[in-house]
Amino acid sequence: MKRVAAVDLGASSGRVMAGTAGPSLLTVEEVRRFPNGGVRAGPALYWDILGLYRETLAGIREAGRLDGVGIDSWAVDYGLLDERGALLGNPVHYRDSRTDGVPASVSARLSARSLYDVTGLQQLPFNTLYQLVSEGDRLDAASTMLLIPDLLNYWLTGSIGAERTNASTTQLYDVRARTWATSLASRAGIPPRLLPPLRDPGTVVGTAEELSGVPVVAVGSHDTASAVVAVPAAPGANFAYISSGTWSLAGLELPAPELSDAALAANFTNEGGVDGTIRFLRNVMGLWVLSETLRTWSTSDLPALLRAAAAAPALAAVVDIDAPEFLPPGDMPSRISSACRATGQRPPSGRAAMVRCIVDSLALAHRRTIHEAARITGRRVDVIHLVGGGARNELLCQSTADACGVPVLAGPVEAAALGNVLVQARALGEDLPDLASMRTLVRETQEIRRYEPSGTADWAAAEARLRA
């Protein structure tokens, strides 16, 4: 039996979870939670990386005796180190505007098809490739780029490296060769020296002397990679997954990348998973729009709003939740109202109707994404596993089942932390030889709730309304 600390850093909060894994046993308990988010300083939006590191250290110490530590976080963002290993500045937030226009400039040197052939990655304006290009001459002072979990692992152990599941989100990783795409980086104007040695999830990075020499394990350090480890799918099941939080990462698990013209046109990504799998998915805007709406209203009473929204008519108004106007922070209710008027719909009247519009629009995006993934790959989807914080949202789970027309199995809520714990436990000697054994342990120990499609609303008509 192994007791480890799973550090799970999200875009709005971070936490340190104490986890235990062993025969017929898998638990996680929150030890410390702390806020996260962008910090505006002058014209730029940054992450408070030193504050995150301070809270991470404090949480690990509070966890007590440990056999290991593993860190996962959001993707794409990074810190630059100089030749002495010193951080050159706070990492910039992916919602910062510095990449505006950069994808278009890169496309003059690298076409979308040539990028996709190598990286298999979804085109998003904040991909690491575009962020690094936006650095310009500042790259001259840099020796190494480390993504957020790799940076914290470096500070803990002194060991420089890049874990593959997160490296695969950068648009600088060759998804078939499982190496850095150094030729592509050079053509984009990014010095290949910035790309550190690659590590597989489950590698023991080193020991944290500041923490009494506890081993530090490279887990599936992209939080979605860890979450997908803990998807409680039965062997042989035709399943899709949605890792639901600030973003919804919706898609399929594949044995190899899908790099077809159809996948490129539909803007699907092929990200590395644990044990050599591929996460064929698309980023959907997720619960970010709802959280920004609550911030605009200066309220935190989400349960009451969701109860009221559940009583409101379904599909009275829907928007394209992935539209670019919903990416930056701001007044989401006003943007939603404008989007409704632009598509000839009456804007939601009142807070309950607005929340219902957001949840229905997110479920509609889940439908569109899962159906497209199945069509492109020729795979059948009989069930959707919805994991992460969104599994608590009963309205979202039921609406997703209704929209997609298949059952939704919701849970575990703490999927990223559980996947983090499972990979650590295996690296430290527990008998968990493959994903199937890990998922069996999740099914046997975690609460899963089933939502059946109700068939009470015409989701196809709502989708057609947006396409019109």
Whether 100 shows a pLDDT value over 90: the answer reads yes
CATH number at residue 235: 3.30.420.40
Phi, psi of 215 (to 5 degrees): -65, 145
Question: Of 191, 221, 251, which residue constitutes the final position of a domain?
Answer: 221
Is 440 part of a structural domain of the chain?
Answer: no
Q: How many domains does the chain have?
A: 2
Whether 468 shows a pLDDT value over 80: the answer reads no
Q: Out of 345-354, 387-396, 397-406, 458-467, which region has the weakest mean confidence (pLDDT)?
A: 458-467
Q: What is the pLDDT of residue 452?
A: 98
Are 199 and 164 spatial neighbours (Cβ–Cβ below 8 Å)? yes
Q: What is the pLDDT of residue 466?
A: 85
Is the peptide bond prior to 412 cis by the omega test (within 30 degrees of 0)? yes
In this structure, the number of other CB atoms found within 10 A of the CB of residue 353 comes to: 18
208 and 240 within one domain: no
Apex 234 CA angle, 362 and 8, nearest 5: 55
Write out pLDDT tens, residues 69-85: 999 999 999 999 999 99
- The one catalytic residue in 67, 72, 96, 223 is 223
197 and 151 within one domain: yes
111 and 77 within one domain: yes
Is 254 part of a structural domain of the chain?
Answer: yes
Distance CA 425, CA 27 (A): 12
In this structure, the number of other CB atoms found within 10 A of the CB of residue 112 comes to: 14
126 and 25 within one domain: yes
Q: Give residues with Cβ within 8 angstroms of 43, minimum separation 6.
A: none
Write out pLDDT tens, residues 102-130: 999 999 999 999 999 999 999 999 999 99
Q: What is the DSSP letter of 374?
A: H
Is 240 part of a structural domain of the chain?
Answer: yes
DSSP lists the bridge partners of residue 162 as 198
453 and 330 within one domain: yes
Distance CA 279, CA 241 (A): 10
Q: What is the pLDDT of residue 80?
A: 98
> DSSP characters for 266-282?
TT-EEEE-GGG-EEEEE
Are 201 and 164 spatial neighbours (Cβ–Cβ below 8 Å)? yes
361 and 289 within one domain: yes
Is 319 part of a structural domain of the chain?
Answer: yes
Distance CA 120, CA 297 (A): 39
402 and 322 within one domain: yes
397 and 313 within one domain: yes
Active site residue 382: no
- Say which residue the tokens 């226009």 belong to: 101
249 and 210 within one domain: no
Q: What is the pLDDT of residue 12?
A: 87
Write out pLDDT tens, residues 403-462: 999 999 999 999 999 999 999 999 999 999 999 999 999 999 999 999 999 988 899 999
Are 389 and 245 spatial neighbours (Cβ–Cβ below 8 Å)? yes
Q: Give the chain's mean pLDDT.
A: 96
Domain that holds residue 70: 2-221
Whether 268 shows a pLDDT value over 90: the answer reads yes
- Say which residue the tokens 């605009």 belong to: 296
Take residue 77 and report the two structure tokens written for it: 């963002």
Is 25 part of a structural domain of the chain?
Answer: yes
CA distances for 324 relative to 31, 95, 284, 321, 339, angstroms: 36, 11, 11, 9, 11
Is 421 part of a structural domain of the chain?
Answer: no
In this structure, the number of other CB atoms found within 10 A of the CB of residue 313 comes to: 10
Q: Read off the pTM.
A: 0.93
Are 247 and 141 spatial neighbours (Cβ–Cβ below 8 Å)? no
195 and 208 within one domain: yes
Question: Of 221, 251, 271, which residue constitutes the final position of a domain?
Answer: 221
Distance CA 439, CA 365 (A): 27
Instruction: Name the 3-class secondary structure at 14.
Output: strand
Are 183 and 190 spatial neighbours (Cβ–Cβ below 8 Å)? no
Apex 288 CA angle, 132 and 315, nearest 5: 135
> DSSP characters for 102-142?
HHHHHHTTS-HHHHHHHH-----TT-HHHHHHHHGGGGGG-
C-alpha R_g of the chain: 21
Is 429 part of a structural domain of the chain?
Answer: no
Q: What is the pLDDT of residue 465?
A: 86
Q: Out of 56-70, 192-206, 448-462, which region has the weakest mean confidence (pLDDT)?
A: 448-462
Whether 11 shows a pLDDT value over 90: the answer reads no
142 and 121 within one domain: yes
> Are β-strands 449-451 and 408-410 bridged in parallel, bridged antiparallel, or unpaired?
antiparallel
